[in-house]
Chains A and B, each alone.
Chain A
Amino acid sequence: MTAPAVTAEMEWEETLLPAGSVPAELEAEVRRQFGAVPSWVARVAPAPWVVRAWATMVTQPVAHLPPGIGDLAALVVSQDNSCRYCFGAQRAVLRMLGYREAYIARLERDFHVAELSDAERAALDFARRMSRADPRPARAERERLAQVGFTAPAVAELAFVAAAIVFANRAATLLALPPDPLEQMVDRPLVRLLRPVIARRMRSKPRRPEPLPEPNEGPFASVVAALEGSPAAGVLRRAIDGALASPVLPRRTKMLLFAVVARALGCTRTESEMRAALALESLGTADVEGILATLASSRLDARETRLVPFARETVRYHRIAAVQRRMREVARGLEPAEIVETVGLLALANAVCRLSVLLDAA
Chain B
Amino acid sequence: MAWAAVVALLAALGVHAWRTRRTVGALERRLATARRELEALQQAFERFAPAEVVEHVIAEGVSARSEKKEITVLFADLQGFTELGEGLAPADLVTILNGYFERMSRAIVEHRGYVSKFLGDGILALFGALDANPWQTNDAIHAALAMRRTLADYNETLAAAGRPALAMGVGVHRGPVVAGLIGSEGLMEYDVIGRTVNVASRVERLTRTHGVDILVTEATRAALDGRFRLRPMPPVAVKGIADALPTFAVEGFDGGATAP
Known A-B contacts A1-B29, A134-B50, A318-B46; A109 and B134 likewise in contact (beta carbons under 8 Å): no
Contact flags A291-311 to B (C-beta < 8 A → 1, else 0): 001111000000000001100
| Interchain CB contact under 8 A, A309 and B260 | yes
Q: Does B47 sit within 8 A of A, measured CB to CB?
A: yes
Q: Nearest Cβ distance between residue A81 and chain B, in whole angstroms? A: 12
Question: Residue B134 contacts which of A105, A110, A264, A308 (CB distance < 8 angstroms)?
Answer: A264
Question: Residue A294 contacts which of B32, B51, B52, B255 (CB distance < 8 angstroms)?
Answer: B255
Known A-B contacts A102-B28, A112-B59; A134 and B52 likewise in contact (beta carbons under 8 Å): yes
Question: Residue B36 contacts which of A9, A112, A294, A295 (CB distance < 8 angstroms)?
Answer: A9
B 38-62 contacts with A by CB, 8 A: 38, 43, 46-47, 50-52, 58-59
**How many A-B pairs fall under 8 Å by CB?**
53
| Interchain CB contact under 8 A, B255 and A316 | no
A112 and B58 alpha carbons, distance in the complex (Å):
11
If over half of A's interface residues share one DSSP class (helix, strand or loop), that class is named, otherwise mixed; here it is helix
* Chain A residues in 8 Å Cβ range of B50: 134
Q: Nearest Cβ distance between residue A153 and chain B, in whole angstroms? A: 28
Q: Which residue of B lies closest to A308 (CB)?
A: B260
| Interchain CB contact under 8 A, A1 and B131 | no
Known A-B contacts A105-B35, A108-B35; A135 and B51 likewise in contact (beta carbons under 8 Å): no
Q: Nearest Cβ distance between residue B34 and chain A, in whole angstroms? A: 9
Q: Nearest Cβ distance between residue B221 and chain A, in whole angstroms? A: 13
Q: Nearest Cβ distance between residue B36 and chain A, in whole angstroms? A: 6
| Interchain CB contact under 8 A, A294 and B227 | yes
- Interface size on A, as a range, is 20 to 34
Known A-B contacts A102-B28, A318-B47; A134 and B260 likewise in contact (beta carbons under 8 Å): no
| Interchain CB contact under 8 A, A295 and B132 | no
| Interchain CB contact under 8 A, B255 and A132 | no
* Chain B residues in 8 Å Cβ range of A293: 135, 225
* Chain B residues in 8 Å Cβ range of A112: 59
A108 and B31 alpha carbons, distance in the complex (Å):
12
A295 and B38 alpha carbons, distance in the complex (Å):
37
Q: Does B207 sit within 8 A of A, measured CB to CB?
A: no
Q: Does A213 sit within 8 A of B, measured CB to CB?
A: no
| Interchain CB contact under 8 A, B132 and A134 | yes
Question: Residue A295 contacts which of B28, B32, B46, B135 (CB distance < 8 angstroms)?
Answer: B135
A109 and B227 alpha carbons, distance in the complex (Å):
47
| Interchain CB contact under 8 A, A312 and B52 | no
A287 and B50 alpha carbons, distance in the complex (Å):
33
Question: Residue B260 contacts which of A312, A316, A318 (CB distance < 8 angstroms)?
Answer: A312
Q: Nearest Cβ distance between residue B128 and chain A, in whole angstroms? A: 11
A9 and B59 alpha carbons, distance in the complex (Å):
25
| Interchain CB contact under 8 A, A294 and B35 | no
A297 and B220 alpha carbons, distance in the complex (Å):
21
| Interchain CB contact under 8 A, B35 and A266 | no
Q: Nearest Cβ distance between residue B31 and chain A, in whole angstroms? A: 8
Q: Does A263 sit within 8 A of B, measured CB to CB?
A: yes
A93 and B132 alpha carbons, distance in the complex (Å):
34
Q: Does B116 sit within 8 A of A, measured CB to CB?
A: no
> Which of B134, B227, B255 counts the most chain A CB atoms within 10 A?
B134
Q: Nearest Cβ distance between residue A320 and chain B, in whole angstroms? A: 11
* Chain A residues in 8 Å Cβ range of B217: none
* Chain B residues in 8 Å Cβ range of A312: 135, 260
* Chain B residues in 8 Å Cβ range of A308: 260
* Chain A residues in 8 Å Cβ range of B131: 134, 316
Q: Nearest Cβ distance between residue B60 and chain A, in whole angstroms? A: 10
Question: Residue A109 contacts which of B35, B46, B138, B225 (CB distance < 8 angstroms)?
Answer: B35
Q: Which residue of B lies closest to A266 (CB)?
A: B132
| Interchain CB contact under 8 A, B134 and A294 | no
Contact sample, A vs B, 23 pairs, CB 8 Å cutoff: A1-B28, A5-B32, A109-B35, A112-B59, A132-B51, A132-B52, A134-B50, A134-B51, A134-B132, A135-B132, A263-B134, A290-B226, A293-B135, A293-B225, A294-B138, A294-B225, A294-B260, A296-B227, A296-B260, A312-B135, A316-B131, A318-B43, A318-B47
Name A residues whose Cβ lies closer than 8 Å to a Cβ of B: 1, 5-6, 9, 102, 105, 108-110, 112, 132, 134-135, 263-264, 266, 290, 293-296, 308-309, 312, 316, 318
Further contacts, 7 of them, CB under 8 A, given A1-B28, A308-B260? A1-B32, A9-B36, A105-B32, A110-B58, A264-B134, A294-B255, A318-B47
